[in-house]
Amino acid sequence: MVTTSMFQAPRRSVFASLIVAVITCAYVYCVYSDGTHFTNHRMSPEFDTGNVVHDFSNATSDENTTDLIFYNKVGKCGSRTLVYLFRKLARKNKFVASGQSKTPQMSRYMTEHEQAQLVERISNLPRPATFYRHTNFIDFRRFGHKNPIYINVVRRPLNRLVSEYYFKRFGDDKNDTKNFPGEGKYETFDDCVLLNRNECLSSSTFIIIPYFCGQVHACRNVSRWALETAKENVIKYFTFVGISEEFEDTLKLLEIMFPRFFNRALEIYKTPGAIISTKTKGKVPPSPLVEEIMNERLALENEFYEFIKQRFYSLKAKYGIAPSSSGTNRTASGKKN
């Protein structure tokens, strides 16, 4: 005789399997629903070994706007100098210069809702327009909009880190009052490194790569995955990434590539008194020992910087800008190399 109880166990088993499948799908979506595209190679053996094959055949020119620039500025890489230029050039070249100058460190990472709000704000600006903000990469297409023209400027990682370390404590030529919270205000950068302060450990110095990696939580972790994702996003989404150490050539390229926005940028930058100095105060250069220690900790950041630098030099060659001679190319703070 067949009873109802004979079917209950199989039904429960099928129902439980469906529940597990739904939860699994939801988890995968939450983990990988970020500002980057999850492509097949990120789960492949080639990616795990670091031998990444980039495939950007799906990228098309109509995916980006042509009258909207988004500068998701990396801190202590000449960002305030470039923002000053935005404001001056906006009046001369008749475009809207909008943005957020002061952004807390952790606000670079945003929730889906916060990302959507920022995308709407930027996408609805009157055109032509520029927008600047410290934030990690966001793919606007995920929120129903075309991507802006992404630009950025980077700096040799150790130089950037030393500058940030002393800026937090003593400010710069524009702002010389800093209320540094902690007993280590007067410790040198060497002290910080040799005493293994948290501020100078690898986990606290992984700064540049996340700006290009995206909003997913894994971009915060020191890993080759984050590095390769950042490289991929630069190739696919960033029209231009300059070098702080060669700021004048950075401006030359911006003038050539985006004359609508940057016409006369170099002229204004070189005009005495036109741009407020942002040179960090109180900097003490690190010792050779500390440089060696930190360059090991910054290995991935240094690799990314060299990747950006080679792309930058390729652009200079493409547009006929000669290699810089020593002492002829000022940094963003106004100091000659």
Query: 213, 229 in Cβ contact below 8 A?
Result: yes
**Amino acid identity at 11:** R
Of the candidates 37, 41, 54, 134, the residue annotated as catalytic is 134
Closest CA to 86 of 75, 74, 76, 71: 71
Q: Residue 221 has what DSSP assignment?
A: S
3-state SS assignment for residue 96: strand
Q: Residue 325 has what DSSP assignment?
A: P
The answer for 84, left when phi > 0, alpha when psi is -120 to 50, beta otherwise, is: alpha
Closest CA to 330 of 243, 262, 242, 247: 247
Query: 68, 131 in Cβ contact below 8 A?
Result: yes
Dihedral pair phi/psi, residue 102, rounded to 5° = -105, 110
Intra-chain end-to-end CA distance of the chain, in Å: 92
Give catalytic status of residue 134 as yes or no. yes
Q: Residue for token digits 């980057």? A: 36
Give strand pairing partners of 154.
243
* Maximum Cα–Cα distance across the chain: 99
Cα–Cα distance, 36 to 137 (Å, whole number) = 8
Exposure of 97 in the CB half-sphere (CA atoms within 13 A): 17
Pairing status of strand 96-99 against strand 147-154:
unpaired
Residues tagged active-site: 134
